A and B are shown apart, each in its own frame.
Chain A
Amino acid sequence: MPELQTYRRQNRYDNNSKLLSGRSMDKDNQPVPHEHLEKMIALVANQRDKQAFGVLFKFFMPKIRSFGMQKLGHQGLAMDLVQETMQNIWTKSHLYNGDKGAVTTWVYTIMRNRCFDMLRKIQHNREDTFGDDIWPIFESDESIDTQQDNDPLMSNLLMQHLEQLPLAQRQVVKGIYLQELSQQELAEKLNIPLGTVKSRLRLGLEKLKSFLEKHHD
């Protein structure tokens, strides 16, 4: 795992972490530093520590990506899976409970659940969020639920509101939901970073949601 090693050299936690030196590490075939991962999660949870998140990112990203390639068979989708899984780790780290399982189990659960929901979306065009109810570890964020399925009135309303979004957000929401592009592809098409696609999408969906809530009042 050269990436982890490279990172280790730069990592400020290394110097004050006895956990790493306490275990006999074979340089070529390291055992997984579970305690180290736990410590990184705790730093993210308690201090919103970006550098600790960077460590987790470097460690898990290649594995999530190859899992994504294997299950989803598409580079762009695998990237989406990396983004979604890592985002869940950042926003839900305070819900991780070391008594209930290893960090790897927690991350695997998140990754598998997101992947399951993505497969449902691709195969059945369903915007489902089943994964976290079927294999619960923590509650999922169901920002947009399935109520607009098969509801022409709701669809019309959504289309009207969609036109009211700022151009940048509208492009992204339409690209993902109407043209069914992957986020990676949309990023390439619009020539903007993937992260920007994500944040525009999130802002756009939040705005749509608030339009709908207002409408119902």
Chain B
Amino acid sequence: MIKHHPQQALLDAHAQAQLPLSMTIAVAAHCEMCPTCQQYLEQRQDYIAAQTLTSADNCTDDSNGDEIDLQDDWSTMIDDITALPPEELAPFKPDIVEIKQRNYHLPRAFKHRVSRDWSTLGKISRMRLGIDENDSRASLLHIDAGGDIPEHGHGAQEMTLLLAGEFSDEYNQYQAGDFIVLDKNHKHSPSTIEGCLCYTVVDAPLHFTKGISKLLNPIGKLIY
């Protein structure tokens, strides 16, 4: 049983693509492993979809006014699209990482993200994923059987998603699928008996990116 879940606010933000990539991958991977959160996510998506795509409020901009002017453009677009053939479904194959003679199948959310090299020190191995944003760092962390990490605090927030195996610290025992957020006030010294693979985001950007279009403005001006 998975005992540690992302907060609802994180799930809601994930459903609307409002989280930075490193965090949204963590929430997506958790939901793949956790039927409870998956179900909640699907309900939220149904609700948000209905709000976004069927509420009359969302099409009241200038769409009525330019309907006639754009008629030709739209019909060209429709003709172009309908000239395309159907696309077939490519079967999903999970990415596999190998470390310390073990193979791990990764959740789909990690697809194409895990082709980098491990750096190993004793029983601890880390693979940086190329999805860092601002000051946050995302990696896969592997602790081999019998390994531990000396007690440490966190300069900032740390998010850990346990992907396989188990580990314990002063607070809890964790198992695959657990989604753990520790802030800078928590010190801990995790250790594992059988070994574990985690996805970690240090200085986890738990803030949401609601103002994303504001952020885009300067870039937008530069490009356009």
Given contacts A112-B16, A195-B79, contact A120 B21 (CB under 8 A): yes
Q: How far is the CA of A149 from the CA of B122 in the complex (A)?
A: 32
Q: How far is the CA of A193 from the CA of B81 in the complex (A)?
A: 13
Q: How far is the CA of A87 from the CA of B80 in the complex (A)?
A: 9
Distance in angstroms from A70 CB to nearest chain B CB is 7
Q: Are B92 and A139 in contact, with the CB atoms below 8 A?
A: yes
Q: Which of A15-23, A102-110, A161-169, A209-217 contacts B (4 or more CB under 8 A)?
A: A102-110
Q: How far is the CA of A60 from the CA of B53 in the complex (A)?
A: 7
By beta carbon, the residue of chain B nearest A73 is: B213
Q: Are B76 and A194 in contact, with the CB atoms below 8 A?
A: yes
Residue in A66, A69, A134, A139 with the greatest tally of chain B CB atoms within 10 Å: A134
Whether, in the assembled complex, B10 has its beta carbon less than 8 Å from a beta carbon of chain A, the answer is: no
* B-side contacts of A3, CB under 8 Å: 63-64, 67
By beta carbon, the residue of chain B nearest A44 is: B82
Whether, in the assembled complex, B77 has its beta carbon less than 8 Å from a beta carbon of chain A, the answer is: yes
By beta carbon, the residue of chain A nearest B61 is: A66
B9-55 residues with Cβ-Cβ distance < 8 A to A are 16-17, 21, 24-25, 28, 42, 45-46, 48-50, 52-54
By beta carbon, the residue of chain A nearest B67 is: A3
Q: How far is the CA of A65 from the CA of B79 in the complex (A)?
A: 19
Whether, in the assembled complex, A177 has its beta carbon less than 8 Å from a beta carbon of chain B, the answer is: no
Q: How far is the CA of A130 from the CA of B130 in the complex (A)?
A: 13
* A-side contacts of B74, CB under 8 Å: 57, 61
Q: Are A193 and B212 in contact, with the CB atoms below 8 A?
A: no
Q: Are A71 and B212 in contact, with the CB atoms below 8 A?
A: yes
Q: How far is the CA of A199 from the CA of B81 in the complex (A)?
A: 9
Q: How far is the CA of A215 from the CA of B215 in the complex (A)?
A: 41
* B-side contacts of A61, CB under 8 Å: 63, 74
Q: Are A90 and B63 in contact, with the CB atoms below 8 A?
A: no
* B-side contacts of A196, CB under 8 Å: 76, 80
Given contacts A1-B59, A2-B64, contact A195 B25 (CB under 8 A): no
A118-171 residues with Cβ-Cβ distance < 8 A to B are 119-120, 122-123, 130-131, 133-136, 138-139, 141, 145-146
A1-37 residues with Cβ-Cβ distance < 8 A to B are 1-3, 29, 32
Q: Are A32 and B224 in contact, with the CB atoms below 8 A?
A: no
* B-side contacts of A32, CB under 8 Å: 50, 54
Q: Which of A67, A87, A102, A185 contacts B58 (CB 8 A)?
A: A67
* B-side contacts of A146, CB under 8 Å: 112
Q: How far is the CA of A67 from the CA of B178 in the complex (A)?
A: 34
Total B residues in contact with A, Cβ cutoff 8 Å:
54
* B-side contacts of A50, CB under 8 Å: 78, 82
Given contacts A105-B49, A194-B73, A195-B80, contact A66 B58 (CB under 8 A): yes
* B-side contacts of A119, CB under 8 Å: 212, 216
Q: Which of B50, B85, B112, B213 contacts A102 (CB 8 A)?
A: B50
Q: Are B49 and A109 in contact, with the CB atoms below 8 A?
A: yes
B101-138 residues with Cβ-Cβ distance < 8 A to A are 108-109, 111-112
* B-side contacts of A76, CB under 8 Å: 224
Q: Are A53 and B82 in contact, with the CB atoms below 8 A?
A: yes
Closest 4 CB pairs of A and B: A108-B49, A195-B80, A62-B59, A62-B63
Interface residues in chain A, defined as those with a beta carbon under 8 Å from any beta carbon in chain B: 1-3, 29, 32, 48, 50, 53-54, 57, 60-63, 65-67, 69-74, 76, 82-83, 86-87, 90-95, 101-102, 104-105, 107-109, 111-113, 115-116, 119-120, 122-123, 130-131, 133-136, 138-139, 141, 145-146, 180, 182, 185, 193-196, 198-199
Give 24 pairs: A residue, B residue, CB < 8 Å, sorted on A: A2-B64, A32-B50, A50-B78, A50-B82, A57-B74, A62-B58, A63-B53, A71-B213, A72-B213, A83-B77, A86-B77, A87-B81, A102-B50, A107-B49, A108-B48, A123-B216, A130-B21, A133-B112, A134-B28, A138-B89, A141-B87, A193-B72, A193-B76, A195-B76
